[in-house]
Amino acid sequence: MRNKRAWFAFPYVIWMALFVVIPILIMLFYSLTAEVETADRTAFAGSLENFTGMTLYMSVFGRSFWLALIATVICLLIGYPVAYLMSREGPGFQRVAMALIMLPMWMNFLLRTYSWMAILENNGLLNQLFQKLGVIALYNRLTGSDIDHFQMIRTSGAVVLGMVYNYLPFMILPIYTVLTKLDHRLTEAAEDLGANAVTVFRRVTLPLSVSGIISGITMVFVPSVSTFAISRLLGGGTQMMLGDLIENQFLGGAYNPHLGAAISMVMMVIVVICMLVMNHFGDGEGEAVML
Amino acid sequence: MGKNRFGSRFLIGLCFLFLYLPILLLIFFSFNAGDSSAVWKGFSLHWYRELFHNRLVIESLATTLLVSLLATAIATAAGTFAAIGIYSLRKKWRDPVLVVNDLPMMNADIVTGVSLLLLFVAFFRGWGAIAAWLNSWQSLITFPTRLTLGLGTLLIAHVSFDIPYVILNVAPRLRQMDANLVEAAQDLGCTWIQAFFKVILPEIKPGIVSGALIAFTMSVDDFVISYFTAGSATQTLSMTIYGMTKKRVTPVVNAVSTLIFLAVLIILIINNIREARQAKLASKRASFEPVRENPRAERFRAWLSTPRGKLMRRAAAAVLCVVFVSTTVFLTAFTTSRPVVNVCSWGEYIDEDLIDEFEAKTGIRVNYQTTDSNETLYSLLSNGGADYDVVVPSDYMISQLIEEGMLEELDYSQIPNFEKIDSRFKNLPYDPENKYTVPYTWGTVGIIYNETMVDGEIDSWSALYDGEYAGQVLLINNSRDALGIALMYLGYSVNTTDEGQIREAYELIEDAARRGMFQGKVMDEVFQTMEGGNAAIATYYAGDYLSMLENNENLRFVVPKEGSNWFVDAMCVLKDAPNYDNAMKWINFIASTESNLRNMDYIWYASPNKEALEIYPAWYEEQYGEELDPEIYEIMAAPQEVLDRCEMYVCLPKATRKLYNDLWIKLGI
């Protein structure tokens, strides 16, 4: 009986081959070729120059992975407690809180990020607030410096803040989902057996929520490492990330799809390896992803 | 416990404060009377009224909703179908399929976007031959021989990234479902189709609904994948906003977002109340209290299950479907059947009323799009990413496009207004015989500085590089301009191909960057940074300076004594433009004195139309009842002695362009 409906999967397999697998193969092809000019037209020729030339961008790779890592850790540190506390609230509160976490996604993420610019600017709301509260004067007195604002925007900190802000819901949602599905009899049993709250959390709750943590980490880390809008808006062009570099090769000034494809390939491979290692630790069940 | 609860809610509240602070700010500034999102100028509903006149925003909103709805509908149906199929596969086959299914979600958006872009470009390259062959042996359908990115590719991309979410939500439900149920239904005489509708569908419905919801949310919120696959003749709201965040986000977008936000909020509240009521009902039922439902609702429900009710239900569904499909068809037909001209220009580079006027006068629909730099435009054109008729590149890019055979000669007999263009702007080096272009605007590059943040007057490029204003300078984020300025400061030609000179210019910038001179690299972001008084010095275009001056009167502009760059942006028509004659009409309309006057007044860039340029001060006085500050006029239309100090860019040879790029990337990392 089972196999009778298996052909239902067939159209989708073809679709995936066309729009998931083949594009990646084409990207691979691009990354392994370069444009050469022959007498009458430009042609592609096999070449490894895209990969060998990539050493130039090592610092961009380093910065992207480093900032994304920091953002992911911060998201986890904020997201886990919030998800945990939410899951212990009453059902009415939970419903409202869930809605409130989903709601920002309906506000365009670029606009939300743009809004941070107004907050973080040198003359922005936060600096004005600091000035009114005398924080800046105090800082000047303490350090003997003479500044009239804190430089917040156009720094790597601002980029990390943008990532945390935009992707925090993606950390909270899967962890929350896993925690609400947690069988309370297990924690009760642990308590009955004499474990204190910390032990219950450490030995029961945390291990059971690993799958949520892993999908949360994936959903924060992957978009963070490849973002280009956030680094451009909040980093002010000073924090070039992999996303910027790739975008620049396809739709920007540098126009070299071959190099762009090669960078994308390398990034993809590194990310996939990271994820495989992660899933190995969490004996991978990717099912917790969101709802 | 009570205290505990308070502490926990306080922490959750803090998290929400963090999430909602920027959103509240956004909503707050949608009621701003001024057009800045940093300076409050009083309460007004101006931007909500403006919203209905802003075509760019309305059209991109419509595109976003159309694509998201269609993609969600297709992905939900296809995803459910596929999930059932995958669930029925043998494990040996199921696992690899699921891995590939996860791929788009594991992959960074940018990789998905880029790889789809490459697929489409490759397909379009091959399509020309296929279409020609198809057209040669049958004449029933004429296939277009040239395809471009647009609504179709955007839809394919959205469906592709939506399906995995649907499958991921439906699959667990299928697994939880008791497989015997279907067999039982079939044993009791159901066909498989009936069993599907009566047994499977109700079981997996929550998964389908949440899958569809997530797919829709993802589609609406997506920016990166759309950005790469939509070309730029089709723009989603995200793309429009991205274009704006570079310059100045008009609060119209804040207004749109506020409305969307409110709509979603209301839906969520209603849904919450309903769920809360259901939960209450359920708990009442559980405790065997008498449940009193609304009698009218009960009667309605009973009526629904009568044969007539069932019929009505189906009819209602059918009507909804028909409405949905016909709106789609109508919308597409409406946008394609009218004569049209596709124009691509820069952000906020036209008085938009001119577009409406042209449409009313000629009946030709103007598909007006924007990109942000000459280089982006070039990339789009080389990708086959756009189907424009008219583009407005700058001088050096025009000569590059001519060199690569990407422009069509103009038919000047259809553009009588070309006569009115000042002879100073004809036959310029980028188009020596003036066969391809009609100038649109011209101007100079200079230093913009904030009077209150610098000592005395600035008159030299040295202000960008010497130590006095460390951390207060904005570097222009464009290799040509940034290196060009350094070359001018060093006393070389901006068009030099001498590698030593270019490297010297690069070292000048690099050295200054190491000393912390530059606060950031900006293009159109310069507007809000300078207007808000967040940096002291920037380099940008004269016309844009005058726009900034409206929002911050402390700003000053100077063309430095070492000289500068002067530029012309001109209208050109692309090779094989599908709407050539309409393009001629558009160019002629824009070249008229009236259009030039209004454009000049709106964007503050000088007009190449001799008459318009001369009478502008008088026209201004007539319009606004006050005299035009002669200083402003002089900045807008630089007098000849200033132009004599300036040099125009010419197209650099390929090797030099590559050097520029390499150096520029090296500077950024």
- The whole-number average pLDDT for the span A96-119 is 87
Interface test with A, best of B110, B162, B281, B376 (most A CBs within 10 A): B110
pLDDT single digits (tens) B533-544: 889 999 999 999
pLDDT confidence of residue A252: 76
Average pLDDT, chain B: 87
Describe the crossing of helices A242-250 and A210-226 by its angle, rounded to 10 degrees. Answer: 50
pLDDT single digits (tens) B71-106: 999 999 999 989 988 888 888 888 888 888 888 878
Q: How many whole angstroms separate alpha carbon A115 and alpha carbon B240?
A: 16
Domain ranges of chain A: 58-288
Residue A2 has pLDDT above 60, yes or no: no
Reported residue count of chain A is 291
Residue B99: its H or E element = helix B91-106
pLDDT single digits (tens) B636-666: 999 999 999 999 999 899 889 889 988 988 8
CB contact under 8 A, A151 and B471: yes
pLDDT single digits (tens) A162-209: 999 999 999 999 999 899 988 888 989 999 999 898 999 999 899 989
pLDDT confidence of residue A29: 93
Q: How many whole angstroms separate alpha carbon B440 and alpha carbon B448?
A: 23
* Other Cβ atoms within 10 Å of B382 Cβ, number: 13
CB contact under 8 A, A108 and B82: no
pLDDT confidence of residue B290: 53
- The whole-number average pLDDT for the span B124-131 is 83
Q: How many whole angstroms separate alpha carbon B488 and alpha carbon B539?
A: 13
CB burial readout B116-134, b (16+ within 10 A) else e: bbbbbbebbeebeeebeee
Question: Residue B471 burial (CB < 10 Å; 0-12/13-18/19+)?
Answer: middle
Residue B292 has pLDDT above 60, yes or no: no
Higher pLDDT, B326 or A150: A150
Residues 6+ apart with CB under 8 A from B242: A110, A229, B223, B227
pLDDT confidence of residue B288: 56
Chain A residues whose beta carbon lies within 8 Å of the beta carbon of residue B119: 19, 22-23, 26
Q: How many whole angstroms separate alpha carbon B467 and alpha carbon B611?
A: 45
pLDDT single digits (tens) B136-185: 887 777 777 777 788 889 999 999 999 999 998 898 888 888 878 888 88
> Is A57 an interface residue toward B (CB < 8 Å)?
yes
- The whole-number average pLDDT for the span B484-492 is 94
Residue B293 binned pLDDT confidence (cut-offs 50, 70, 90): low
CB contact under 8 A, A261 and B88: no
pLDDT confidence of residue B438: 96
CB B138 within 8 A of CB B173: no
Write the class of the CATH domain A58-288.
mainly alpha
Provide, rounded to the nearest whole percent, the portion of chain A with pLDDT above 90. 37
> Is A112 an interface residue toward B (CB < 8 Å)?
yes
CB contact under 8 A, B90 and A6: yes
Q: Which range, A28-32, A236-240, B204-208, B336-340, has the best average confidence (pLDDT)?
A: A28-32
Residues 6+ apart with CB under 8 A from B325: none
Residue A233 main-chain phi, psi, to 5 deg: -75, -50
Q: How many whole angstroms separate alpha carbon A111 and alpha carbon B238?
A: 9
pLDDT confidence of residue B564: 94
Measured at the CA of A114, the angle between CA B664 and CA B446, to 5 degrees, comes to 45
CB contact under 8 A, A264 and B38: no
Residues 6+ apart with CB under 8 A from A232: A244
CB B502 within 8 A of CB B496: yes
**In DSSP terms, which residues pair with B522 in a beta bridge?**
B476
CB contact under 8 A, B268 and A99: yes
Residue B1 binned pLDDT confidence (cut-offs 50, 70, 90): very low
> Is A248 an interface residue toward B (CB < 8 Å)?
yes
CB burial readout B402-415, b (16+ within 10 A) else e: beeebbbebeeeeb
Residue B370: its H or E element = strand B365-371
Strands A33-37 and A42-46: antiparallel
Per the listing, tokens 């502490």 go with: B7
pLDDT single digits (tens) B371-388: 878 888 888 888 766 678
Distance from CA of B646 to the nearest CA of A (A): 24
Least confident of B118-132, B328-342, B504-518: B328-342
3-state secondary structure of B421: strand
Q: How many whole angstroms separate alpha carbon B593 and alpha carbon B611?
A: 7
The answer for A 183-222 residues in CB contact with B (under 8 A) is 218, 222
CB contact under 8 A, B26 and A6: no
CB burial readout A168-179, b (16+ within 10 A) else e: bbbbbbbbbbbb
Chain B residues whose beta carbon lies within 8 Å of the beta carbon of residue A251: 227-228, 376, 379-380, 383, 385
* Partner residue opposite B238 with nearest CB, options A26, A110, A235: A110
**Residue A153 DSSP code:** T
Question: What region does A128 belong to: left with phi over 0, alpha with psi -120 to 50, or beta?
Answer: alpha
Residue B56 has pLDDT above 90, yes or no: no
CB contact under 8 A, B520 and A238: yes
The chain A residue lying nearest B231, using CA atoms, is A251
Per the listing, tokens 């922005």 go with: A124
3-state secondary structure of A181: helix
pLDDT confidence of residue A54: 84
Chain B residues whose beta carbon lies within 8 Å of the beta carbon of residue A93: 9
Question: Residue B287 burial (CB < 10 Å; 0-12/13-18/19+)?
Answer: exposed
* Partner residue opposite A112 with nearest CB, options B23, B271, B275: B23
CB contact under 8 A, A103 and B265: yes
The chain B residue lying nearest A79, using CA atoms, is B15
Per the listing, tokens 């279409």 go with: B131
**Residue B413 DSSP code:** G
> For residue B522, how many C-alpha atoms fall within 13 Å in the half-sphere facing its CB?
29
pLDDT confidence of residue A124: 85
At position A95, the amino acid (one-letter code) is R
Residue B10: its H or E element = helix B2-29
> Is A122 an interface residue toward B (CB < 8 Å)?
yes
CB A253 within 8 A of CB B479: yes
CB B387 within 8 A of CB B371: no
Closest CA to B532 of B558, B557, B551: B551
Distance from CA of A138 to the nearest CA of B (A): 22
Instruction: Give the pair of three-digit tokens for residue A291.
Output: 């709802």
Instruction: Give the pair of three-digit tokens for residue B94.
Output: 């199921």
DSSP per residue, A142-197: HH----SS---TTSHHHHHHHHHHHHHHHHHHHHHHHHHHS-HHHHHHHHHTT--H
pLDDT confidence of residue A39: 60
pLDDT confidence of residue A290: 41
* Partner residue opposite B160 with nearest CB, options A19, A104, A153: A19
pLDDT confidence of residue A291: 38
> Is A46 an interface residue toward B (CB < 8 Å)?
no
User: ipTM of the assembly?
Assistant: 0.90
> Is A7 an interface residue toward B (CB < 8 Å)?
yes
CB A105 within 8 A of CB A169: yes
Per the listing, tokens 């309903």 go with: B274
Q: Counting runs of H as helices and runs of E as strands, what totals does chain A give?
A: 16, 2
- Whole-prediction pTM: 0.85
Residue B446 main-chain phi, psi, to 5 deg: -155, -175
- The whole-number average pLDDT for the span B7-29 is 91
**In DSSP terms, which residues pair with B556 in a beta bridge?**
B449
CB contact under 8 A, A8 and B25: no
pLDDT single digits (tens) B253-280: 889 889 988 988 898 888 888 888 888 8
**In DSSP terms, which residues pair with B367 in a beta bridge?**
B342
The chain B residue lying nearest A6, using CA atoms, is B85
DSSP per residue, B181-216: HHHHHHHTT--HHHHIIIIIHHHHHHHHHHHHHHHH
Residue B195: its H or E element = helix B192-195
Chain B residues whose beta carbon lies within 8 Å of the beta carbon of residue A229: 223-224, 242, 245
* Partner residue opposite A275 with nearest CB, options B88, B106, B661: B106
pLDDT single digits (tens) B40-52: 888 999 899 988 8
Q: How many whole angstroms separate alpha carbon B386 and alpha carbon B378?
A: 10
pLDDT single digits (tens) B19-33: 999 999 999 989 988
Residue B604 has pLDDT above 70, yes or no: yes
CB contact under 8 A, A107 and B23: yes
Chain A residues whose beta carbon lies within 8 Å of the beta carbon of residue B182: 1
Closest CA to B79 of B110, B105, B107: B105
Instruction: Give the pair of three-digit tokens for residue B37.
Output: 């999102």
Q: How many whole angstroms separate alpha carbon B583 and alpha carbon B595?
A: 16
**In DSSP terms, which residues pair with B407 in a beta bridge?**
B574
Residue B541 main-chain phi, psi, to 5 deg: -85, 145
pLDDT confidence of residue A286: 45
CB B340 within 8 A of CB B592: no
- The whole-number average pLDDT for the span A117-131 is 88
Chain B residues whose beta carbon lies within 8 Å of the beta carbon of residue A28: none
Provide, rounded to the nearest whole percent, the portion of chain A with pLDDT above 70. 93
Chain A residues whose beta carbon lies within 8 Å of the beta carbon of residue B116: 19, 23
